[in-house]
Amino acid sequence: MIDLWRSSWKKIRWYRGVVILLWVSTWVFSFPVFIYMQASLSRLAKTNVPAEWLQSFVFTYLTEFISDDPAFLGLLFAWVLFLSVMYFLINIFLTGGIIGVVTHSNPGGNTPFEWSFFWASAKKFMLRFFLLSLVTGAMMLIPMALMAFGTPGIVLTLLAWFFWVMVSDMSKIRIASLDIGLARSFFDAIRLVIKNLFPLLGLYCLNLIPLLAIFVVWWWVDAMINANSAVKMAIIYGSHQLLIIMRAVVRIQIFDMLAIFHKLKCHKPEISLVEGETTLKVHKITS
């Protein structure tokens, strides 16, 4: 598993265009909310609230602002809901492209990244990945009943969510690798995850290390540097952007490692994503 992780880091430069695409998509869907909140909260600039918030966040000021402008919360909720749904759909679409590439290409080689293949994969798997997301979401709702039992129930719920995330990811790999239906891929993925639970847990934990490291840096900066420091603001902003980029990198790495893991465990023949008269070049996966 360590070798797979190291190999995925060596390949990430080959995916740099996808990393940039994921980073830009996050900005596109978050920027309208930022603009709306900046415009709505601009009238607080003439008060002493911003200066006090630099020292410590006072939630009362925000509640008073909302009570004075009831439309603010409603419009904000509408913006967030609309953009969240759109981001959810775009995320599924891009995931299809990523998984199509990691399951049918030779990352890190001399072959250039094939964007036509990426977009064709995204289009091909969009519907099945969307339905899979709905099924996974429904399965993740079931263990929420355990939260009524306090801390042990919350821990079990989180573990169950993690399990269904692994099942969902493995199911996507099987759909793209074998071009099979949703039901078959989902139940096969459950079997594979249960059978290889600890190696897969190690795979995910290894890839979460960079995200954890960035969070630790953010926490240290927040605790050690004064809130009104321009250096702190710059470090926090930089850490946030790095976190977005690293999240994209980790997402690609997990799918890349799962694709190789699936190939090694299942030894299934590869299929072509070509439909109709469209011809796309498919590369054999190598570990």
Whole-angstrom distance, CA of residue 261 vs CA of residue 259 = 5
Work out the end-to-end distance of the chain between its first and last CA atoms, rounded to an integer number of angstroms. 12
Q: Are 126 and 133 in contact (CB under 8 A)?
A: no
pTM comes to 0.79
Dihedral sign, CA of 251, 13, 236, 60?
Answer: negative
The phi-psi region of residue 101 (left if phi > 0; otherwise alpha if psi is between -120 and 50; otherwise beta) is alpha
Helix, strand, coil distribution of the chain in percent, nearest 5 = 85, 0, 15
Cα 221 to Cα 232: distance, rounded to the nearest angstrom: 7
- Residue ranges of the alpha helices (H) in 142-196? 151-178, 182-195
Q: What is the pLDDT of residue 126?
A: 96
The residue ranges of the chain whose pLDDT is under 50 are: 268-287
What are the tens digits of pLDDT across the range 60-80? 666 666 666 667 667 778 888
Per the CB < 8 A criterion, the answer to whether 244 and 23 are in contact is yes
**100-110 pLDDT, tens per residue?**
999 887 766 66
- Note the pLDDT of residue 276: 37
**How many whole angstroms separate alpha carbon 252 and alpha carbon 92?**
13
Q: How far is CA 111 from CA 132, 241, 286, in A?
A: 31, 29, 13
pLDDT of residue 27: 85
Tell me, what's the pLDDT at 281?
40
Question: Which residue, chain included where needed, has tokens 């964007």?
Answer: 115
At a CB cut-off of 8 Å and minimum separation 6, what does 45 contact? Answer: none
Whether the CA torsion 169, 170, 171, 173 is positive or negative: it is positive
